Amino acid sequence: MTLFIGISVLLTLLVVAWLVWSLLRTATADGISSERLNASIHRDQLLALEADLARGVISQQDFETTRDELQLRLLDDTESYEAVPRQRTTGFWSAKRTATAIAITLPVMALGLYLQLGTPEAMNPAASGHEKNEQLVQMVDSLAARLKDNPDDSKGWAVLARSYKALGRFEESRQAFEKAGDVVKTDPDLLIDHADVLGVLAGNSLVGKPEQMIEEALRMDPQHPMSLMMAGVASYQGGNYPKAVTYWEQLLPLLQPGSPDAQQVQANIDEARAMGGQPAAASNLLPSVPEGAAAGMTPDKINNMVDRLAARLKENPDDLAGWARLARAYKVQNRLDEAIAAYAKTGKLLDTDPDLLTQYADTLAMSSRSLQGKPSELINKALAISPTHPMALMMAGQAAYQSGNFAKAINHWQTALTVLPVNSPDIAPIKAEIADAKQRMGTTGKP
């Protein structure tokens, strides 16, 4: 913008300078004088006549006669000439005043015409972008107004929901997705967008309903890139790092080798492997690791990674999902006090996330070696949100067992058996706990 203005001003000044110089420069002489011209002609003729006499071409008498004629003719020419001096204007608009007027009015008129006919705002990218954003907002609002008159247009609501998402109007996007109805449930792209919006509204957490929508999108299209990416994120946020690795490793072959996206996914895989205690795997889709570089994630590297996450959260304390990740990382490292402090900063996520509640309760129990008190309260809260949450049921049974309420413990564990996969490794230990609880009930005679 500054360069454009500078060039425009320079060109305008050059034009003004050229016009003013033309008006103010000193005028030349009044032209060729008729008197001087006649005198010069007669002088040349006289010299020619004298030359003829010297060469003997004419006689002395002819010379004198012709000379007298020339002199008389010259006298007539000079006497008939009356010098007329150049008349200079004496009006108001002198050359100087005209030059001054041009110097002032020309730039002003040029600026005025540009402001009237040009587009000054086009030189400002921010203003131009703001104008485009305003046009987009007007288009979206116009679509919303039309859908009020035609509420059964499911595809229209889906378009509006995506438009609201692009504008960052997430609550309005959520409402529009809900009004789109079944059309969202049959399109993996729309399902993923809907899940993303719900995740943002839940504090950037995909655990719960967003994760269920992501899984549904994958059932429709197992090779859907964005679904695989977000499924990995949801598993990572839920602390299931091996599952996150599985999703991201399925995604990696779908990306262009060596691209920024592929490099980012590989970094996610390495981090998830480190968090889950798995060795980092080399990928032939990325540039080879320089010789001499570490082949895996050492404890020091994991500590550095966790410490970097903690440092970022100090600068961004409102990242609730980030605090949840940090708490799980501290828990894996057995830094229980730091994990408990991080869980306490997850805020409103504790009101909606049964996974987070059970992890928090488990950390407190590991620290105090008991599920009574605060851990038990968190477990009951998780069950209130999700009555069939396997981990919450198992921990609730353990808490009841510790308090001597064996019947309640058995009830929780038997419910857990109905929701666990048939091949779950937790089934055998739970059955053993149930048998032990029943034996204790028979011994003590207490329910």
Q: pLDDT tens across 372-405, in order?
A: 899 999 999 999 998 988 889 989 988 888 888 8
Same domain, residue pair 269 and 325? no
In a domain, residue 145? The reply is no
DSSP E strands: which ranges in 281-380? Answer: none
* Angle 363-364-368 from CA coordinates, rounded to 5°: 120
Residue given tokens 């305008």 in the structure block: 12
Prediction pTM value: 0.40
pLDDT in tens, 283-335: 333 333 333 333 444 566 667 777 888 888 888 888 888 888 888 888 877 88
The reported pLDDT for the residue numbered 26 is 54
The reported pLDDT for the residue numbered 42 is 67
Closest-CA residue to 281 (of 264, 297, 302, 303): 297
In a domain, residue 65? The reply is no
The reported pLDDT for the residue numbered 213 is 92
In a domain, residue 149? The reply is no
CATH number at residue 406: 1.25.40.10
33-44: average pLDDT: 63
Tokens of 131: 């104008």
Which residues make Cβ contacts (< 8 Å) with residue 212, sequence separation at least 6? none
In a domain, residue 131? The reply is no
* Angle 343-348-354 from CA coordinates, rounded to 5°: 70
With 0-12 / 13-18 / 19 or more C-beta atoms within 10 angstroms meaning exposed / middle / buried, residue 343 is: buried
In a domain, residue 148? The reply is no
Q: Mean of the per-residue pLDDT values for the chain? A: 77
In a domain, residue 430? The reply is yes
Same domain, residue pair 339 and 406? yes
End position of a domain, from candidates 208, 243, 274: 274
**How many independent structural domains does the chain possess?**
2
End position of a domain, from candidates 250, 274, 298: 274
Count of helix runs (H) and strand runs (E) in the chain? 21, 0
In a domain, residue 209? The reply is yes
CB 236 within 8 A of CB 205: no
Same domain, residue pair 365 and 434? yes
pLDDT in tens, 152-163: 888 888 888 888
Question: What is the extent of the structural domain holding 377?
Answer: 319-444
The reported pLDDT for the residue numbered 214 is 92
Give the Cα separation of 323 and 346 in Å (integer).
6
> What are the Cα distances from residue 342, in Å, to 68, 326, 337, 362, 431?
129, 7, 9, 14, 34
Same domain, residue pair 270 and 324? no
**pLDDT range class, residue 184, cuts 50, 70, 90:** confident
